[in-house]
Chains A and B, each alone.
Chain A
Amino acid sequence: MRIFENANYQFMRNRKIAYAISGALFVLSLASLLFRGLEVGIDFLGGMEFVVESDQPVSTAEVRSTLATALGSEPEVKTFDETGLLIRTASTGDINEVEAQVLRGVNEAAPGGTHRIVKTDIVGPRFAEDLKRGAFYSVIGSLIVIFLYIWVRFQWKVGYSVGAVAALVHDVVITLGMFSLMHHLNIVPFSLQIDQTIIAAFLTIVGYSINDTVVVFDRIREYTTMFKTENYENVVNRSINTTLSRTIITSGTTLLVVITLFIFGSEVLRGFAFALLFGIGIGTYSSIFVAAPIVVELRNRIGAR
């Protein structure tokens, strides 16, 4: 079986449509990020998070209200897997004390059951600050490294680097925006909080998207020397079309395993798998519809530099 054999889609001629879609998504994401923000986890805010496993159903609202008085501020309470509760508090009290209060609160909300804390995550505010900086630098750092590598590998032509990094920024911002939007619309049944694992997912998306982009760029570079007389736009369009089946198959197999991870992976990995699911989709799209067109635009404006 073959898909997209002898594909000849007019990606370049219709690139304005892609610009409109990407622009709209980008603006929507930025707006949501600016005005709505993200659900930031304790990794970057500091605080304590407990997963309590119970042998009987416990009402989240009940736990929230019993703990609000004990902890002095209302904690976040969600269900975790089938039998668990995830309780997150910004309390900065003594750990042993808060832990005891949480167990007592759950006992009060559902007396007679057996409740155990099966997972504890505690991040001090200073440590959270450190993690936040680390996450920020790692995302920025990877963008810079990619920019430089592509600049060196593609005959010192800045256009490729700009196109690649623009596509990456596009992917990361829109995926973040999606997290922000979905969190506020409250339409998914799992946690969308931004924590270290999600940052790892973002860097993976960056890695995946650049992988995809480089394959297209490589073809552009090859065809540019092969078809010297042809219009650059057509060269790029042909490059995208010939790599299209590879692009779709690789994203296809990767998406398949990410869906597997989303379904079979544990609750801990659900947000991570979701970020990858969305990010790999958008990364594939951006290699074709953002990175390559930008290379063309820059070539048209500043020449073959």
Chain B
Amino acid sequence: MPSFNPQVYPHIKQSDLPAAVGAGIIWFCSMKENGFKTTLIVAFLALCGFYLYPSVRTFLENRKIAAMADEARVQYEDENYVSLRAMREKSLKLGLDLLGGMHVTLEVRLDALIRELATDVDDTFNEVLAEARAESVSGNSSMIEIFGANFTARDPEARLSRYFRDDEANITRRSSNAEVLAYLQSEADEAVQRAIEIIRQRVDRFGVSEPAIQLQGTRRIVVELPGVDDPERVRSLLRGTARLEFRMMTDPEDVLRSLQQLIEAYEEAPAIAAADTSAGDSTAVATADTAEASPTIDNLLDETDDALAPNNRLLAIMQPFGQGVIYGTVSEADTAKFNALSKEILFQDQLPVNTRLMFSSGAVGIDPDGFEQFYVLGVREEVELDGSVITDARVEFDEVNRAEVTMTMNAEGARTWSRLTGANVGRNVSVVMDNVVYSFPTVIERIPSGRTSISGLESREEAQDVVTILKSGALPAPVDIVEERTVGPSLGAASIRAGLNSVLVGLLIVALFMIFYYRTAGIVADLALILNIVFILGILAAFGATLTLPGIAGIVLTIGMAVDANVLVFERVREELSTGKSMKAAIDGGYSKALSSILDANITTFFVGMILYSFGVGPIQGFAVTLMAGILSSLFSAIIISRVVFDWMVGERRMSVNFG
């Protein structure tokens, strides 16, 4: 049999040992029945040992490493990188609820993708799409199929081809609905695959050890990041579409004129808002830790000073500014309200044509309540250039050591950029990312090189993340975080302690009870119980399952229920003994009569475990797995192990077993 020598270990192929064990089993099969059973037990124990060995070593190594000084630790980890990594990969994995870390489920917004693909959109289309989104709640359902079914249900004669056109995919006006749906499905599948690729790149650059990224159902992506303790940054990184745009800003005179019109309009407008504030779009809010210099409030226009009436709904949330391209400042607490207000027709009517309001990314001041304030800026609707022209991006630092992202454009981008800057000297251009204005410099002269930068970033980390997102490319469709579970490392460690304590105390209590109640037979049952726990852990390690907190609860529960099979046998043996049978006959009878109960009871519970596994996610699956592993191993330990021990005691040692 291959040795478990740690130096040899990494080179052993996993298949060697089972092969050796298999040969051993065949050899022993020719022997008497109990010999076979004993071999089976030894083989399973050896297998468990084999699969648990890396876990035990990882545990010991981790303790050793934790006790080292920082420098020694780094050196040790460097020197043993390969073997440590191999060992960790093969060891029993702890769930994020025990380890600490972040579990995120992302959903790719296929409805947005469909809308993007459509060349022509009408009300019917939008309604059917909204219906399809509402109905495709299950992660396994196909949104495309539901979309198609709803579309034909509405009007069997209607043709999807009027909305889509793609020469490459050969989708024309003549394409049948089935062809269009097949085209949409393949685009959707591709988009989801691409999203996974992009997210993998982003996560890799973020630098997490052993991240896991996988597809769930048709359009959900599960991202597991052990040890991550900065959820805010991860969320931005995962969701970041990095839709980078270069736009012109609204002319300052237009800004000033429309600001005055807006203030006047709301001076006369009824005070009761008809606006639906819940529809407020809050994605345009940036948060910040450090504030830059306060804006010069003294510069406020004279005519607005006396206009700060409490019943003016605009002035209640925005401090007017009116200089250059800046409309005013809005506090972080009011951004949602402002977004809702700016959607009102009254508001929209006052804005110059082609103008859209956006917030600045960095905070420009702090209001008396301690909330950060952001600029409201006038930005032109037209996108002059977008992120697709960016060929490279990196973090650099300006004169005052603030991080900024400098970007290089391709030839075509550089040409457009050169023409644009050349034609707009003295005006402001804006660098917009995900509808937030990062910088809006005044063009001093034509920029021929195609180099440009994003400033106004909070920190080095944010700049690094922007670079990561820009380099990984834009997501093919927006993603939503539909589920997130983050556990801090300290809470995880506390859960491990709590779990271990419950396992040990539970084990002790049950073991003592069994000895107290069944005497010698109880000791045999306890032996089976302890081996049972080794088997459960072995099964978990062998299948690469993850141990979670509910999983530990499953082990504790199994300790209580595992003795059941033994209890069933022992009670039967007592019944048999009371009819005056010999010890050997009583044990034989007890086992054979209890068998059908044991099997029926465990098979039904096993079914429940399977259902639980297929429905549950994450920690619950961990619970289901330990429950099922517990059933299998308790069956094995009760029917095989304790039986062999009894046979040995009664048959070979001629002992009389005390069943209490």
Contact = CB atoms under 8 A, between A and B. Distances in A.
A163 B117 CA distance: 56
B612 A253 contact: no
B597 A254 contact: no
Given A100-B287, A249-B567, A256-B509, A207 B553 contact: no
Interface stretch (A14-22, A57-65, A135-143, A289-297): A135-143
B513 A252 contact: yes
B291 to A, nearest CB: 15
B505 A253 contact: no
Interface in B304-339: 333, 336
Residue of B283, B287, B557, B624 ringed by the most chain A CB atoms within 10 A:
B557
Contacts of B557: 204, 254, 257-258, 261, 276
A268 B495 contact: yes
B257 interface: no
Interface in B533-572: 549-550, 553, 556-557, 559-561, 563-564, 567-568, 571
B482 A2 contact: no
A224 interface: no
A258 B611 contact: no
B499 interface: yes
Interface string A277-291: 000000000000000
A246 interface: yes
A121 B491 CA distance: 14
Contact of B498 (A94, A129, A266): A266
A97 interface: yes
Interface in A220-252: 222, 242-243, 245-246, 249-250, 252
B627 interface: yes
A253 B483 CA distance: 37
Interface in A110-160: 116-124, 126-127, 129-131, 133-135, 137-138, 141-142, 145-146, 149-150, 153
A236 B624 CA distance: 33
Contacts of B597: 214-215, 218-219
B563 A250 contact: yes
A149 B608 CA distance: 11
Nearest to A129: B137
B232 A208 contact: no
Nearest to A84: B491
A260 interface: yes
Contact of B560 (A95, A142, A254): A254
B: interface residue count bin: 35 or more
Contacts of B549: 266, 268-269
Contacts of B498: 264-266, 269
Contacts of B105: 127
A269 B553 CA distance: 8
A203 B623 CA distance: 11
Given A96-B287, A200-B616, A272-B553, A122 B483 contact: yes
8 contacts: A2-B574, A53-B488, A93-B336, A118-B490, A122-B481, A145-B608, A200-B620, A264-B502
A: interface residue count bin: 35 or more
A257 B615 contact: no
A193 interface: no
Interface stretch (B73-81, B349-357, B599-607): B599-607
Contacts of A256: 506, 509-510, 513, 560
B112 to A, nearest CB: 14
A137 to B, nearest CB: 7
A266 B490 CA distance: 13
A151 to B, nearest CB: 12
Contacts, number: 231
Q: Which 4 A-B pairs give the minimum distances between C-beta atoms?
A: A257-B560, A254-B560, A138-B615, A118-B488
A45 to B, nearest CB: 13
B609 A207 contact: yes
Interface of B: 97, 105, 107, 137-139, 231-232, 235-236, 282-283, 285, 287, 333, 336, 480-488, 490-491, 494-495, 498-499, 501-502, 505-506, 509-510, 513-514, 516-517, 549-550, 553, 556-557, 559-561, 563-564, 567-568, 571, 574-575, 593, 596-597, 600-605, 607-609, 611-612, 614-617, 619-620, 623-624, 627, 660
A150 B607 CA distance: 12
A68 to B, nearest CB: 14
A255 interface: yes
B504 to A, nearest CB: 9
B608 A117 contact: no
A257 B517 contact: no
Contacts of A133: 137-138
Nearest to B596: A218
Contacts of A97: 282, 285, 287
A203 B613 CA distance: 11
Residue of A119, A252, A264 ringed by the most chain B CB atoms within 10 A:
A264
Contact of A146 (B484, B494, B607, B623): B607
A250 B567 contact: yes
Contacts of B336: 93
B611 A203 contact: yes
Nearest to B280: A93
A200 B623 contact: yes
A211 B602 contact: yes
B560 A253 contact: yes
B612 A138 contact: yes
A99 interface: yes
Interface in A45-77: 51, 53, 70
